[in-house]
């Protein structure tokens, strides 16, 4: 039986497609938050098919390395809330799939990722998209985003799981503050239920976003220019319907 992904297979495929153009002989890739090893195995087999040596290219790290099931690679322990066990400018690519929402200090992790990526290297990061219309309606209704439930505060499972929902626009700002540039958004798969809800909600979203854009462009033009791309993305069709938010950034 193969390794089951912790995130959607479509998400993993898109992440793979985003990094393949950056993979060359001598490149170093870190699967950060490797989980059971599904993405590491997918990347390994892809590189093998291209006559590259995956063992020299891929490294994996996770807070629970004992859960890593892909036997062709080892997985190193990493406490992502305190620091990463790698030298500066080590990797050409860092992939972090469905990890950031589990982290107590997201800024600390982002600074560490920036530190270990080589100049010109890339970060590809994914997180549940709390800006799709389903999640917005869930928050409007009961006050919690989709995939983010109430949490236990005592016992072994206290604050274990999805503890920090972060929207694409705030994640983009975080990444830029830590030094990255050329931040881009990519969707994974369209949620069919989102298409249904958009029929009823998009007129309100369109009006609301238009009024906000006019206000910020008038009152804070410099801030508008800095965030122009993210403002366009925030309420786009892709953002409103995508299950996952995928971000790619360059150091």
CATH number of the domain encompassing residue 168: 3.40.50.150
Q: Is 29 in contact with 92 (CB distance < 8 Å)?
A: yes
- Of residues 131, 70, 123, the one with CA closest to residue 97: 123
Task: Report helix, strand or coil for 108.
Answer: helix
Q: Is 147 in contact with 245 (CB distance < 8 Å)?
A: no
Residue 180 lies in a domain: yes
The pLDDT of residue 6 is: 81
Cα 183 to Cα 38: distance, rounded to the nearest angstrom: 26
The pLDDT of residue 90 is: 97
The pLDDT of residue 205 is: 96
Beta strand pairing call for 29-32 and 91-97: parallel
Residue 146 lies in a domain: yes
Residue 231 lies in a domain: no
Q: Which domain holds residue 15?
A: 9-192+241-250
Strand locations in 23-174 (E): 29-32, 58-62, 75-77, 91-97, 117-128
Residue 162 lies in a domain: yes
Number of independent structural domains in the chain: 1
Q: Is 207 in contact with 140 (CB distance < 8 Å)?
A: no
Calculate the CA 114 to chain-centre distance: 14
Residue 232 lies in a domain: no
The pLDDT tens digits of the residues spanning 29-38 come to 999 999 999 9
- Of residues 76, 109, 100, the one with CA closest to residue 246: 100
Q: Is 243 in contact with 129 (CB distance < 8 Å)?
A: yes
Residue 230 lies in a domain: no
Query: In angstroms, what is the C-alpha Rg of the chain?
Result: 19
The pLDDT of residue 157 is: 64
Q: Is 62 in contact with 126 (CB distance < 8 Å)?
A: no
The pLDDT of residue 156 is: 67
Beta strand pairing call for 181-187 and 58-62: unpaired
Model pTM score: 0.94
For 230, list phi and psi in degrees, rounded to 5.
-65, -35
The pLDDT tens digits of the residues spanning 100-155 come to 999 999 999 999 999 999 999 999 999 999 999 999 999 999 999 999 999 888 87
Residue 140 lies in a domain: yes
Count H helices and E strands in the chain, helices first: 10, 7
Residue 119 lies in a domain: yes
The pLDDT of residue 81 is: 87
The pLDDT tens digits of the residues spanning 156-183 come to 666 678 999 999 999 999 999 999 998 9
Q: Is 192 in contact with 130 (CB distance < 8 Å)?
A: no
């Amino acid at each position: 039986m193969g390794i089951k992904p912790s995130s959607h297979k479509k998400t993993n495929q898109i992440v793979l497609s985003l990094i393949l153009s950056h993979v060359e002989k001598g490149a170093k890739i870190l699967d950060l938050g490797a989980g059971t090893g599904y993405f590491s195995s997918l990347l390994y087999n892809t590189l093998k098919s291209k006559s590259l040596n995956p063992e020299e290219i891929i490294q994996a790290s996770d807070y629970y390395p004992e859960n890593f099931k892909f036997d062709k690679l080892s997985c190193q322990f990493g406490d992502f809330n305190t620091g990463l066990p790698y030298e500066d400018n080590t990797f050409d690519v860092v992939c972090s799939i469905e990890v950031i929402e589990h982290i107590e200090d997201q800024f600390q992790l982002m600074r560490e990722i920036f530190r270990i990526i080589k100049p010109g290297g890339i970060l590809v990061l994914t997180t549940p998209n709390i800006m799709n219309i389903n999640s917005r309606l869930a928050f409007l209704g009961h006050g919690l985003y989709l995939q983010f439930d109430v949490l236990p505060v005592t016992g072994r499972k206290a604050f274990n799981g999805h503890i920090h929902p972060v929207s694409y626009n705030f994640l983009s700002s975080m990444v830029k503050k830590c030094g990255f540039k050329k931040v881009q958004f990519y969707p994974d798969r369209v949620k069919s239920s989102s298409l249904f809800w958009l029929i009823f909600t998009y007129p309100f979203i369109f009006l609301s976003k238009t009024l906000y854009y006019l206000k910020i462009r008038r009152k804070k033009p410099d801030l508008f220019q800095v965030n122009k791309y993210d403002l366009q993305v925030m309420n786009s069709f892709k953002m409103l319907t995508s299950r996952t938010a995928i971000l790619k950034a360059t150091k």
